[in-house]
Amino acid sequence: MSASGDIEFEHRGPLGLVTLRRPQALNALTLDMIRVFSARLANWAQDSSVKAVVVQGEGDRAFCAGGDIVHIHEGRPAMAHGKNEFGYRFFEAEYSLNRQIKVFPKPYIALMDGVTMGGGVGISVHGSHRVVSERTRLAMPEASIGFFPDVGGSFLLPRLTGEMGLFIGLTGWPLGASDCVRLGIATHFAHSFLNEGLVEALRGADWTNAAPQAVVDAVLSSFDQTPPASEDEDLMNHQQRIDRCFSSATVEAIQSCLGAVGTPWSEKALTLMGRASPTSLKVALAQLRRGAAMTFDEAMQMEFQLSQVFLGKDD
């Protein structure tokens, strides 16, 4: 467990089990949590007795609501030579962890049960297996706090179908399980009450005669179900409108196109964009379009440079 007690690691048979333990803060990540998580992953990558890693959040509200932006914001006044020292350390560690998950050599299973936002997306979607539940609400709402879709959003979002990634990044629209599965953000759906049984099934599986990837695939397939219909209208129903509006050259043109659609869905999208920082919207538009041609490492390097510029601003 970390020094703060906010993250717990168990070596449960063939599994490395990570539990985020800040339910009062929706399991938001602190710098300490990120650092000990990274160190443990490095250890488990080399430990032959660990066949796969499972990551979950404590409580019934959130997997992980992101990074601890309160501490980052409070660190802004402590500028040294034009640099927010805490913010520099935080994003350097967080983005390094995102890359570590992306290249992790063993199955990495994220149980994305509940709110999954920002930094929570970064420690889930880059893993090999992403399991959503009926409680999943996934979003990238960074533009609404004067930031940009980071933690690998530059790589992930442009690779979704059509202009869907740009829509998600500019509006912060929350996705339910159905949209996550249909967009390929999630690989499986399982009801939340099955998560404990899923972990036990992985622990008790026969890992001796098959590759770890095949074992995980088989276990998750046995739990996989069709997600229930979204409480909101499924985003996929609006794919053509999203592609038309979000292929526009500027933020203003996107907003004008949405206004011309004139439906409750487009009005909600406009409202969400209206709550965002105008600077963030313009940066995100350029960032995500550039990210479409970048490797994962290039995208993360761009995001780190952007994070340091944003930390020095008052927006």
DSSP letters spanning 152-196: THHHHGGGSSTTHHHHHHHH-PPB-HHHHHHHTS-SEE--GGGHH
Active-site amino acid positions: 67, 119, 142, 150
Q: What is the predicted pLDDT for the residue at 1?
A: 47
Q: Rounded distance, CA 153 to CA 148, Å?
A: 9
DSSP-based three-state secondary structure for 9? strand
Q: At a CB cut-off of 8 Å and minimum separation 6, what does 34 contact?
A: 90, 93, 94, 97
Residue 93, pLDDT > 70, answer yes
* Sheet with 188-189, edge to edge strand ranges: 7-12, 15-20, 52-57, 108-112, 129-132, 188-189
Q: Is the whole model's pTM more than 0.75, yes or no?
A: yes
Residue 283, pLDDT > 90, answer yes
- What's the pLDDT band for 236 if we cut at 50, 70, 90? confident
Q: Mean pLDDT for the chain? A: 93
Q: Is 75 or 279 the better-scoring residue by pLDDT?
A: 279
Residue 3, pLDDT > 70, answer no
Residue 2, pLDDT > 70, answer no
312 token code pair: 């020095």
Q: Which of 179, 176, 172 is nearest to 140 (CA)?
A: 172
- What's the pLDDT band for 5 if we cut at 50, 70, 90? confident
